Structure 1
Amino acid sequence: MVRLKEKDGGVVFFVKAQPRSSRSAIIGEYDGKIKISLKAAPVDDAANVECCRFLAKSLGVVSSRVRILSGHSSRIKRLTIDGMGAAEAATLFGEHLESVEFDL
């Protein structure tokens, strides 16, 4: 079950990133986190930038609203989407993750 938490006018969640993949995609759920594959390598912040841009594009929000709060040098990252509630985020992620439950 993926946890989504509303905090400071946005939604906070954890991502398990898999860099150097053949394509960027939302894969599923891993240990309470959203698992994504990223085409970019974790060099010079490229994977972090792609992580934010890819999630923004996938969810239909402006990329400046998606930020990494912690885990810049880790595969486990804590992200926020500014101006979005947990229920809205669950709906948008649910379009990509059919069998995943969300803990609001």
Structure 2
Amino acid sequence: MRLTPRGGRDALGSVETLSDGRAVLTAKVRAVPADGEANQALVKLVAKALGVSASRVSIRQGATSRIKMVLVEGEGTALERSILAAMGR
């Protein structure tokens, strides 16, 4: 995921391709990137969008970077449907 802190609103965005060819889901949060606030806001945003508890969402890589690898624990097919629904597909 690519996170934009101080983004004006908490929202998932679109899938974009980075210069190295990786596809990322974009997200914006109102929180500032200090003391883990933006990361916590991202975890809550992803959990709410996918209908899972925040304890099932964690940032696995990129805690201090805009590019993050996020792990969501749960049943794969149900999560896939939730992700597509959250993206409006």
RMSD between aligned residues: 1.2
Does the alignment pair 1:76 with 2:54? no
Q: Which has the higher contact order (CA 8 A, sep 6+)?
A: 1
More helix by share: 2
Runs of 5+ consecutive residues of structure 2 not aligned to the other structure: 18-22
Where does structure 1 differ by over 4 angstroms across 4 or more consecutive aligned residues? none
More strand by share: 1
Does the alignment pair 1:67 with 2:58? yes
Identity of aligned residues (%): 30
Count of aligned residue pairs for this structure pair: 84
TM-score scaled by structure 1?
0.75
TM-score scaled by structure 2?
0.87
| Cα distance in 1 between the residues matched to 2:48 and 2:65 | 22
Runs of 5+ consecutive residues of structure 1 not aligned to the other structure: 1-14, 100-104
Give 1:88 shift: 2.4
